[in-house]
A and B are shown apart, each in its own frame.
Chain A
Amino acid sequence: MASIRLFLTFTLIAIIVLVSFLSSLRGYRESMSEAETLFDMQLQEHAKLLSLISPSTNTSGAAKLLEELVLPQQSDLELSAESLIAYQVFDDQGRLVMRSVVAPSAAMSPLEVGYSDRNFSGYRWRVLVVHNPDAQRWVMAAQRVDVRYELAESVILEAVIPTVLSIPLAALLIWFIVGYGLRPIEQLAQAVRSREVSDLSAVRLDNVPRELTPLTLSTNDLLRRLQSSFNREKRFAADAAHELRTPISILKVQVHNLLEEMAAPSASLQELQLSIDAMGHLVEQILVLNRMSPDQYMVQFQPVDLYKLAQEVISSEYEPILEREQHFDLEGGSATIRGDGTALRSLISNLVANASKYSPVHARIRMRIAQRGTRVSLLVEDSGPGIPLDYRERVFDRFYRLDGDRHASGVGGSGLGLAIVKHIVEMHGADISLSSSKELGGLCVSIQFDAVQNKQDHKGRLS
């Protein structure tokens, strides 16, 4: 069932058509039968009346014409000649005493009392024969069958035609009424469809119909449980990360002290220090990710010069690049977007750290920031190993690391860097894509932001 509205409209119209048309057909047949009876009764009345008229016995041998006796002129008849009733009056000897103009000279029917259908004068006739023994008269009254049928049908069709003509109007009304009746479903769908991804609050509709109440309640219950589940998960991650900060800091200090105290630090101790650093980094990243959640981060966006921000981030985090003797280029120029400075700083920092960490010593890293029309692009390319095509979607998943802990680069990581990047990108309504760098051969991360166009755009607004 592709559309409830179409289904209801078509089936309702079909039911109305079937019921009303079949009723009309039945009514038509019944009415036609009744009309036949009425016409027969009419014949009977005429025949009885004629049998009471008692002209003198036909002794001359020539039958009198009825119209000459009763009506002076044919034009005085209001009914058409076709609808006239043909009459014949015979005496008991079977001699024709009188006839109407439309009646033939020969007997229309044998002298047998009752109704019968006969053919004469080129038509089929309904004939009634009546005998009056007192007046010694046989009276025959006849009507053309086709004229009776046409007269009856013309009257009955007057009742049938409006039924037929009313169907299109009924169809139109059904279409609108069904649409009106289904409006709450559309409103519910619209209320769910138009929500922000992060909006898990209850759906509120006015005058929810009884049939939709269970669906609305179930939807709201589902949203509530989903919200509660998300909150629990986030709280747990944030609380755990926050609580881990202090012991990790203590561990760092203790290891540092141990290294200072020992004349020749053992390799195991140095490994321990690296692991504690990695754990600390992981905890910080979890906290960053949590802070970037939309419900935690409803901030007012401000115009930010992405190029200037990149310069600041790179200068503060240039040390790892220098240590690995990598070559870093920042190209482009001023490009203003609307966003949050802290989040964008984290985004650039993660991209730079990723490029440096997963590229070999002496590798080249290039960042390009440029505005083209209404878009600002941020490109980070490196000459590292890149990411195979099949894994480019998955690397945005939380805690996902290419080849797991046995990453080919051999460097440690939390698996949260690109998840944070994607999160910030989505927060700013931007697009991110991964590809292979044509010039440097490694990974190319491309992010497209909406540029700030005019002064009005510079006004901050809620994201």
Chain B
Amino acid sequence: MTDAVVIVLREVLEAMLLICMLMASSTAMGYRFRWMGLALLFGVFGATAYALRLEQISMAFEGFGQEIVNSTLLIAIAVMLAAHNYLAVKQLYNPRYKVPYGLFLLVFVGTVSMAMTREGAEIYLYGYSYGVLAGNMSAVFSGGAIGVGIGLSIGTFFYYALKSLARNKRLVTCCVVSLILAAGMMGQAALYLSQADLMPSQGALWDTSNVFAESSLMGELLHAAIGYEASPSLTQVLLYLGSVLTSLAAMFAAWFLYRKPESGEVGEAR
């Protein structure tokens, strides 16, 4: 049961941090949660389709289909998050600007549905293989429910913590969270690409598994929150830092283009 808790919690927490950050950001951008319905619909559909077609996907690309699809989804989410940061900073420094609804839907629904597709498929597969096929239904059900419950609860507190911030501070915090989540995803994408031999595999730059083992509860929580890897390769570290710099560049571009000419101060909350 503990395995089920840890595995499900890691996936749910990763998705919840992303979803709650986007929910808080959408309130700061002046949009309600109607987009969530669409995102959940696409996410559930995507996760089911991915899980049901996993065999075909795995066999594609000379047996590296799953790694390639996963890395593609992760990179796409990271790009969407960079776009989110650009739009958030643009709205922050240009009080008269409101992100057009179509663009808002594309970024927010796209990000959440892709994240749910990946995380949902992994939960589905774990539940199916260890629960249904291995006959551990009650353990997987209990562990999964506990993992989902803890993940949703942490997400709830995270959302209300963000929501308690004033609009401008909320947007800035969302950008920082988005930047860290995107970097973690790029680190994971690098791992998948290395497994698919699309990137060079190198030795670990450092090893902190004696401090926080990746399989420990703390290791899993840190992995979900900041993309923690106990022994990352040079490629992973480079992609992680590259993602941080890309997001920062997007935010800087928005600030540079839309700041008030007379001052670089953050605009007052409306």
Contact = CB atoms under 8 A, between A and B. Distances in A.
Q: Do most interface residues of chain B lie in helix, strand or loop, or is the interface mixed?
A: helix
B97 interface: no
B170 to A, nearest CB: 13
A402 interface: no
Contact of B156 (A14, A24, A29): A14
Given A10-B156, A11-B157, A14-B157, A157 B1 contact: yes
B202 interface: no
A164 interface: yes
Contacts of B150: 17-18, 21-22
A91 interface: no
Contact of B152 (A17, A22, A29): A17
B149 A21 contact: yes
A28 interface: yes
B243 to A, nearest CB: 30
Interface string B132-155: 000000110110011001101110
Given A1-B163, A11-B160, A14-B156, A160 B149 contact: no
B142 A157 contact: yes
Interface string A301-330: 000000000000000000000000000000
B160 A164 contact: no
A13 B7 CA distance: 22
B149 A25 contact: no
Contacts of B138: 154, 157, 161
**The 9 residue pairs across chains A and B that have the minimum distance between CB atoms:** A14-B153, A14-B156, A17-B149, A164-B145, A17-B153, A21-B146, A18-B153, A21-B149, A10-B156
Contacts of B156: 10-11, 13-14
Contacts of A7: 160
Interface of A: 1, 7, 10-11, 13-15, 17-18, 21-22, 24-25, 28-29, 153-154, 157, 160-161, 164, 167
Contacts, number: 57
Contacts of A24: 146
B5 interface: yes
B2 A28 contact: yes
A158 B152 CA distance: 24
A161 B143 CA distance: 9
Q: Chain B interface residue count: which class?
A: 10 to 19
A166 to B, nearest CB: 11
A172 to B, nearest CB: 15
B146 A164 contact: yes
Given A17-B150, A161-B138, A153 B160 contact: no
A18 to B, nearest CB: 5
A167 B153 CA distance: 12
Contacts of B141: 161, 164
Interface string B69-91: 00000000000000000000000
8 contacts: A1-B160, A10-B156, A10-B160, A11-B157, A13-B156, A22-B150, A157-B1, A157-B138
A160 B5 CA distance: 13
A430 to B, nearest CB: 36
A447 to B, nearest CB: 38
Interface in B158-190: 160, 163-164
Interface in B1-39: 1-2, 5
A153 B1 contact: yes
A25 to B, nearest CB: 6
Contacts of B142: 157, 160-161, 164
A398 B56 CA distance: 78
Contacts of B1: 28, 153, 157, 160
A64 to B, nearest CB: 36
Contacts of B5: 25
Contacts of B146: 21, 24-25, 160, 164
Given A14-B156, A14-B157, A29-B2, 13 more contacts: A11-B160, A13-B153, A14-B153, A15-B153, A17-B149, A18-B149, A21-B150, A25-B2, A28-B2, A157-B142, A164-B141, A164-B142, A167-B149
